[in-house]
Amino acid sequence: MNILEKLKFDANGLIPAIAQDFKTKEILMMAWMSDESIKITISSGYATYFSRSRQQFWRKGESSGNLQKIISINADCDFDCLILQVEQTGPACHTGAKNCFFNEVFK
């Protein structure tokens, strides 16, 4: 069985994907992927998510140039979450921040 067939998608056909800088291990962002967007990501070599608000594929950095080159993709123990190890060009967040997780909730 192809490992892609083992992946478990939610009721909307999506799986959460965490993008991590492959060198610094910084967590850059979390977005959602469909089965098709995973296949596009693998064949193109660049992270392509599925936008829940726009209901369409979204090649990260397509307009900004802040692409994510895929180094590797791993699934977790129960196949319902992915980590993308990526080489990030520019900031990962649409706000211009290096990563999306700048809101401190507790420290």
Per CB under 8 A, residues contacting a copy of itself are: 3-4, 6-7, 16, 18, 20, 24-27, 29-30, 38, 42, 70-79, 81-83, 93-95, 97, 100-107
Surface-to-core class of residue 92, CB atoms within 10 Å of its CB (0-12 exposed, 13-18 middle, 19+ buried): buried
Nearest to 95 by CA among 62, 64, 68: 64
In the complex, the smallest distance separating the C-beta of residue 70 from a copy of itself, rounded to whole angstroms, is 7
Nearest to 21 by CA among 96, 77, 89: 89
Residue 63 gets which letter from DSSP? T
Do strands 14-21 and 82-88 pair parallel, antiparallel, or not at all (unpaired)? Answer: parallel
In the complex, the smallest distance separating the C-beta of residue 89 from a copy of itself, rounded to whole angstroms, is 18
In the complex, the smallest distance separating the C-beta of residue 62 from a copy of itself, rounded to whole angstroms, is 18
Nearer to a copy of itself, 83 or 89 (CB): 83
Nearer to a copy of itself, 13 or 42 (CB): 42
In the complex, the smallest distance separating the C-beta of residue 102 from a copy of itself, rounded to whole angstroms, is 7
For residues 7 and 38, is the Cβ–Cβ distance under 8 A? yes
Question: Token match 């939610």: residue?
Answer: 10
Nearer to a copy of itself, 65 or 77 (CB): 77
